[in-house]
Amino acid sequence: MAKEGDTYYVYFTGGGIRVWSSKDMKTWTKQPSVFSVAPTWVAQKLPSFRGLGFWAPDLSFHNGQWYLYYATSIFGKNTSVIGVATNKTLDPNSKNYKWVDGGMVIQSVTGRDDWNTIDPNLAVDENGTGWLAFGSRWNGLKLVKLNPDFKTLAEPQEWHTIASRRQRDYKFTDAEAGDDAVEAPFIFRKGKYYYLFVSWDNCCSGVNSTYNIRVGRSENITGPYLDKEGVNMAKGGGTLVRRGDTGDNKVVFARGHNSTHTFDGVDYIAYHAYTNTYERLGIDRLTWKNDWPIVIIK
């Protein structure tokens, strides 16, 4: 989610990266997808790739332009890539509107890596250095430093595990991806802390989805991120922020894969929600107590 001028934009999975726009975060209008044709490098890296099945776009403004990170993969495997595209504006009616392919940023390979390059999120530290957080299941969520172009990995490469629920040996096979699901990192800086939001449990199963949003915080972007009980998120920690409704009259069965933003001095959390009839966008306001985020539930 992002705001440019007086317009909000939401970018989401599928169809070449779908886009909605709104003036009030209530009424949304469909806009052109980012890609009508897949960048040629994607099929070169993933020979089985077909169509426009791009996942989990991450959008933010830096260095005078918008950076859009996205992933694609074979579902349930860690044969995955993250790419980036840039644009001067989000307004499709502007003469300056044009998405420019920046190529592949990072790839994970089955049998080589114990991490999965999907669900990217660009975070920028207090020094203006870019970091890419990413990951789903496998051996947890990772963070790696980027070069000043925000498109390539800084050398020497150093990998930081920022969240993990897996506490047993790993066998480097797709079948061992496991059920200790944690994915969708989003790092939000406020005050002296970096807040790491993640999603636990399972998405993509309609009313049977069990997605829920967790958080930890650190004074250093590389962590360790600790929850309210002081448990390291790299060792299974994570304080609950939002989940599906409880009780007999459920409307939303799961909430997950969030992003967190400040628009006009107000903090918001946006997320993917499963209802009994359709998937939808959820947006809530955030307040803070003792430097911890609390959702304002209407």
pLDDT tens string 45-68 = 988 888 899 999 999 999 999 999
**What is the 8-class DSSP label of residue 148?**
T
In this prediction, residue 169 has a pLDDT band, given cuts at 50, 70 and 90, of very low
Question: Rounded distance, CA 232 to CA 238, Å?
Answer: 8
C-alpha span between 215 and 293 (Å, rounded): 8
Give pLDDT, residue 179.
57
Residue 175: pLDDT over 80: no
pLDDT of residue 273: 95
Mean pLDDT throughout 179-204?
93
Q: With 90 as the cut, is the pLDDT of residue 166 above it?
A: no
Find residue 68's DSSP bridge partners.
Answer: 59, 85
Q: Please give the pLDDT value at position 267.
A: 98
Give the pLDDT of residue 289: 97
C-alpha to C-alpha distance for 242 and 255, rounded to whole angstroms: 7
250: which 2 tokens? Answer: 């459920």
Question: Residue 72 has which token pair?
Answer: 């694609």
Residue 112 has pLDDT above 80, yes or no: yes
pLDDT tier, 77 (very low <50, low <70, confident <90, very high otherwise): confident
pLDDT recorded at residue 180: 77
Residue 202 has pLDDT above 70, yes or no: yes
Is pLDDT above 90 for 4? yes
Distance, in Å, from the CA atom of 74 to the CA atom of 46, rounded to the nearest integer, reads 9
The pLDDT tens digits for 224-254 are 999 999 999 999 999 999 999 998 888 999 9
Instruction: Determine what percent of the chain is predicted with pLDDT higher than 70.
Output: 95
3-state secondary structure of 123: strand
Spatial separation of the C-alpha atoms in residues 262 and 285, rounded to whole Å: 10
Q: Which residue has the higher pLDDT, 273 or 74?
A: 273
Going by C-alpha positions, the residue among 104, 105, 106, 65 that lies closest to residue 86 is: 65
Q: How confident is the model at residue 88 (pLDDT cuts 50, 70, 90)?
A: very high
Asked if CATH classification 2.115.10.20 holds for the domain at 2-296, the reply, yes or no, is yes
Phi, psi of 13 (to 5 degrees): -60, 145
Residue 257 banded pLDDT, cuts 50, 70, 90: very high
Q: Where are the domains of the chain?
A: 2-296
pLDDT the model gives residue 155: 96
Look at residue 167 in the predicted model and tell me its pLDDT. Answer: 54
Mean pLDDT across 31-54: 92
What's the pLDDT tens digit per position in 118-154? 999 999 999 999 999 999 888 899 999 999 999 999 9
pLDDT at 79: 87
Mean pLDDT estimate for the chain:
92
